[in-house]
Chain A
Amino acid sequence: MIVELGHFALILSLMAAIFTAFFGLLGAHLNRAEWMAVVRPSTYAQFTLVSLALLALGYAFVQNDFSVLYVATNSNSALPVFYRVSAIWGGHEGSLLLWLWILVAWSTAVALLSQGLPASFTARVLGVLGIIAIGFMLFTLATSSPFERLLPAPPDGRDLNPLLQDPALAVHPPMLYAGYVGFAVAFAFACAAMLEGRLDQTWARWTRPWTTIAWAFLSVGIALGSWWAYYELGWGGYWFWDPVENASFMPWLVGTALIHSLAVTEKRGLFKSWTLLLAILAFSLSLLGTFLVRSGVLVSVHSFAADPERGMFILAFLVLIIGGALTLYAWRAPLLRSAAGFEFTARESFLLFNNILLVIAAAAVFAGTMAPLISDALGLGTLSVGRQYFDPVFLLPTLPLLALAAVGIHSGWKKGRLSDRSRAIWVTMIVSLALMLALVLGAWDGPKLLTPLAFALGIWLVLSALIDPWERWRRGLSLTPAIIGMALAHAALGLFVLSITAVESYTRERDLALAVGEAGTVGEFEYRLVGMETVEGPNYDALRAEVLVYENGDLVGTLHPEKRNYWVQRSVMTEAGIDMQWTRDIFAALGEDLGAGRWSVRAQVRPLINYVWFAAFLMALGGVIAAADRRYRRKDTSA
């Protein structure tokens, strides 16, 4: 009964979304105040109704109602309650419902916080968001309803995919979707501005905090996914250039370009049409990501459904939304030209190059991700693109980007004198070059030229980003959230580069064959297998090894990697044993029984790897702090 009510609420929400889109867009076009007045209440109605639908599905999961097909396929009575809740988005249908719920939640936030905006503008923004909601509601209701019944009900469910039974992965989809869908807000703001025919600095000031928050969510979502892959898949890396990872990374790259170009549009009224294009592009790539991941064209843990009908629906929707927005852009953007000059060394130039390089990086990732699909579709053979392609083509635009960032964050608007900062820039550069030299003479052992270069760039960026807040603090000047957020995010980027450089250059790894009592060496480390035992969890049993790790004879870590056997799906999972330390992770994953009492063990020691994710979280935090700046909450509408 509750489940049917949820289904009914979802159908009603479609009505509310149609209402919002119709009265919002047409009301603004015809300038009818009473039509536009409908838009806020109908947005709240969408939110209430989709929330009810989500709660109904959650109820079915918590109550173990296996007469619901989706619950029966994705849950089990032995599954802990926490995972029964996260199982709501453990499959295709439910994750769409979550996507939808986050969309209407963002719309509601816009409706609540847009009191200072002109009525016609708000109506258009909510109207565009309504159109997106209609698309996803139709998709959910017509092809992927999570409320379908399964009669007679099976005695128990088929369980949640054991790979997804993990705390980080329980929060990964909501974070990622909050980022994807957050770009829908920037997209709706862009479409509304084009429909309105008005795009001024106030517009950029409204759009900026929403975009930055969306970007922060996306950063956290990607970092959580990467962290999960590291400890759960048993391979031990943090990024594989997997198409599914790329699908979330492309909107991130373009979104990063967007938050920077919005800064120029807000402060100087420049790059207007470019900013619009980026807003359209960021959301289009989010939709493309959803399409790639959900349609089953890519193969991974994420592709729950290889149903061509669903793929066609998202593709059609994608074409409609992107095509519509680009048509609008072609028609309206020329009206929004900006006319103001700037010096070659001004901040505008740095941000222009930032944008160009980020878009090139995104395009390179896009080409590598789409090539296999296109080649396959055209019958040119099945090919795959790996890190041998992605690593160089991604680093090529991003390395200069780091140097530009280290200098550019000190440049001034318009005039472009690096003014009193030029000394600080030189000092930080010399310090980082000196540290690099120390590294080359001291610890550098490899032929990789990239290691000292990236190391120097990372240090330079960290130091350079911290100059401004430090100087201000020293002189007793005011420190606004915008300044702190920006410094934090850029210093975090430097930390990110440093940690990736360390991981890529100084990881020790080797596959070992060990019997209890035997030891193998991995660089200067020794892995000793000291015991094997059987343990039992709530819905699995496992073989657990005890591995002691020695460095030059001293015990530095005790690991307990497991091989788990989940009862319901009868699948074997590797649970890596990781000793997290301040400067490194000591890692072991248990492989298979090799016979003769030996087991294969994947042994790795990765320096600074946790700072990769930590830096990503810091970057996101920087974004959130910057978005909390006071000036975004002023209610005036003039520039």
Chain B
Amino acid sequence: MTPRQRRVTLVVGILAGVSIAGALALSAFRENVMFFFDPSQVAAGEAPIDKRFRLGGMVRPGSVDRQAGSLELQFVVTDFQQDVPVRYSGVVPDLFRENQGVVAHGRLGTDGIFVADEILAKHDENYMPPEVARAIKDKHGGVMPANPDLRSVPET
């Protein structure tokens, strides 16, 4: 091969490699990206039934129901307009508790119960997942409820 042919081969090879990688990345992206929904959207049927997604809101006070001594847990995620019951089995984060912001990863069952395989809660006392803060803010006409735990920015 002449140097010119070699260069052309190289460029074509690189282009082909890059486009294959791009196409694969795109399809991996389409299949594996997870969307966020709040309980009102779930109630309106916007959330997919067969695909994993993120559900976020507050843990409704008094809703955490655990059979004593077992890892099985049920609770209700709310945005103060609609509720979604959640079932989970396993260790929950340190800051998971009633009346606190939470994000759950999982699937919505046909019975309307969200089966979570991962639970995320706040990193510290004042922090609130931003999607959750926004979802709740929207339901309250842009104003955060007076509960001090709902602030997303720490006080200084």
Q: Per-residue CB proximity of A511-524 to B under 8 Å, as 1/0?
A: 11101000000000
The reply on A385 being an interface residue by CB < 8 A is yes
Number of residues from B at the complex interface, CB < 8 A: 39
Let me know if B125 and A569 touch, CB within 8 A. Answer: yes
Q: Per-residue CB proximity of B38-51 to A under 8 Å, as 1/0?
A: 00000000000000
* In the complex, residue of chain B having the shortest beta-carbon distance to the beta carbon of A393: B25
A382 and B123 in contact, given A299-B130, A511-B71, A511-B90 (Cβ under 8 angstroms): no
**Which of the listed residues B29, B54, B95, B153 has the most CB atoms from chain A within 10 Å of its own CB?**
B29
The reply on B68 being an interface residue by CB < 8 A is yes
A384 and B54 in contact, given A344-B6, A389-B33, A570-B125 (Cβ under 8 angstroms): yes
For B24, the chain A residues whose CB sits under 8 A away are 392-393, 396
A511 and B17 in contact, given A384-B36, A572-B94 (Cβ under 8 angstroms): no
A386 and B32 in contact, given A513-B69, A569-B124, A595-B69 (Cβ under 8 angstroms): yes
A511 to B70, CA, bound (A): 11
Let me know if B69 and A594 touch, CB within 8 A. Answer: yes
For A166, the chain B residues whose CB sits under 8 A away are none
Let me know if B91 and A596 touch, CB within 8 A. Answer: no
**In residues 1-42 of chain B, which contact A (Cβ within 8 Å)?**
3, 6, 14, 17-18, 21, 24-25, 28-29, 31-36
A385 and B32 in contact, given A570-B125, A595-B66 (Cβ under 8 angstroms): yes
Let me know if B91 and A600 touch, CB within 8 A. Answer: yes
A601 to B90, CA, bound (A): 9
A596 and B156 in contact, given A299-B130, A382-B35, A389-B32 (Cβ under 8 angstroms): no
Let me know if A597 and B33 touch, CB within 8 A. Answer: no
Q: Give the contacting residue for B21; candidates A364, A563, A592; CB below 8 A.
A: A364
A163 to B94, CA, bound (A): 12
A356 to B28, CA, bound (A): 20
Let me know if B32 and A388 touch, CB within 8 A. Answer: yes
- Tell me, rounded to whole Å, the shortest Cβ–Cβ distance linking A104 to chain B: 28
Let me know if B123 and A300 touch, CB within 8 A. Answer: yes
Number of residues from A at the complex interface, CB < 8 A: 51
For A368, the chain B residues whose CB sits under 8 A away are 29
Let me know if B32 and A367 touch, CB within 8 A. Answer: no
Let me know if B95 and A572 touch, CB within 8 A. Answer: yes
A383 and B6 in contact, given A389-B28, A573-B94, A594-B70 (Cβ under 8 angstroms): no
- Tell me, rounded to whole Å, the shortest Cβ–Cβ distance linking B153 to chain A: 5
The reply on B152 being an interface residue by CB < 8 A is yes
The reply on A301 being an interface residue by CB < 8 A is yes
A163 to B36, CA, bound (A): 27
The reply on A73 being an interface residue by CB < 8 A is yes
Let me know if B21 and A360 touch, CB within 8 A. Answer: yes
A371 to B68, CA, bound (A): 42
The reply on A161 being an interface residue by CB < 8 A is yes
* In the complex, residue of chain A having the shortest beta-carbon distance to the beta carbon of B18: A360
For B98, the chain A residues whose CB sits under 8 A away are none
A384 to B68, CA, bound (A): 34
Let me know if B35 and A367 touch, CB within 8 A. Answer: no
Q: Per-residue CB proximity of A554-571 to B under 8 Å, as 1/0?
A: 000000000100000111
The reply on A69 being an interface residue by CB < 8 A is yes
A388 to B105, CA, bound (A): 13
For B125, the chain A residues whose CB sits under 8 A away are 569-571
* In the complex, residue of chain A having the shortest beta-carbon distance to the beta carbon of B95: A572
* In the complex, residue of chain B having the shortest beta-carbon distance to the beta carbon of A515: B69
Q: Give the contacting residue for A592; candidates B3, B92, B129; CB below 8 A.
A: B92
**In residues 497-515 of chain A, which contact B (Cβ within 8 Å)?**
511-513, 515
Let me know if B33 and A385 touch, CB within 8 A. Answer: yes
A367 to B123, CA, bound (A): 26
Q: Give the contacting residue for A301; candidates B36, B70, B71, B123; CB below 8 A.
A: B123
The reply on B89 being an interface residue by CB < 8 A is yes
Let me know if A594 and B68 touch, CB within 8 A. Answer: yes
A381 to B92, CA, bound (A): 27
For A344, the chain B residues whose CB sits under 8 A away are 6
For A389, the chain B residues whose CB sits under 8 A away are 28-29, 32-33
The reply on A416 being an interface residue by CB < 8 A is no
A594 to B29, CA, bound (A): 38
A483 to B66, CA, bound (A): 61
* In the complex, residue of chain A having the shortest beta-carbon distance to the beta carbon of B156: A73
A594 to B54, CA, bound (A): 25
* In the complex, residue of chain A having the shortest beta-carbon distance to the beta carbon of B54: A384
For A595, the chain B residues whose CB sits under 8 A away are 66, 68-69
A515 to B68, CA, bound (A): 11
Let me know if B71 and A574 touch, CB within 8 A. Answer: no
Q: Per-residue CB proximity of A348-380 to B under 8 Å, as 1/0?
A: 000000001000100010011001000000000
A392 to B32, CA, bound (A): 11
A116 to B16, CA, bound (A): 45
A591 and B35 in contact, given A364-B21, A384-B54, A596-B68 (Cβ under 8 angstroms): no
Let me know if A597 and B69 touch, CB within 8 A. Answer: yes
For B31, the chain A residues whose CB sits under 8 A away are 388
For A301, the chain B residues whose CB sits under 8 A away are 123
Let me know if B89 and A383 touch, CB within 8 A. Answer: no
A527 to B130, CA, bound (A): 38
**In residues 51-92 of chain A, which contact B (Cβ within 8 Å)?**
69, 73
A367 and B17 in contact, given A513-B69, A592-B91, A594-B70 (Cβ under 8 angstroms): no
The reply on A306 being an interface residue by CB < 8 A is yes
Let me know if A594 and B33 touch, CB within 8 A. Answer: no
For A571, the chain B residues whose CB sits under 8 A away are 94-95, 124-125
**In residues 65-119 of chain B, which contact A (Cβ within 8 Å)?**
66, 68-71, 89-92, 94-96
For A598, the chain B residues whose CB sits under 8 A away are 68-70
- Tell me, rounded to whole Å, the shortest Cβ–Cβ distance linking B3 to chain A: 5
A512 to B70, CA, bound (A): 9
A385 to B33, CA, bound (A): 5
* In the complex, residue of chain B having the shortest beta-carbon distance to the beta carbon of A301: B123
The reply on A341 being an interface residue by CB < 8 A is yes
Provide a sorted-by-A list of 24 A–B residue pairs whose CB atoms are within 8 angstroms: A161-B124, A299-B129, A344-B6, A360-B17, A360-B18, A367-B29, A381-B35, A383-B33, A384-B34, A385-B32, A385-B33, A388-B32, A389-B29, A393-B29, A396-B21, A511-B90, A513-B70, A569-B125, A574-B94, A594-B69, A595-B68, A595-B69, A597-B69, A600-B90
8 shortest A-B CB distances, which residue pairs?
Answer: A596-B69, A595-B68, A388-B32, A591-B91, A382-B36, A596-B68, A598-B69, A511-B90
For the A-B complex with A301-B123, A381-B36, A597-B69 known, give 10 more contacts whose Cβ atoms are closer than 8 Å.
A234-B94, A299-B127, A344-B6, A371-B33, A382-B131, A388-B28, A511-B91, A515-B69, A594-B71, A596-B68
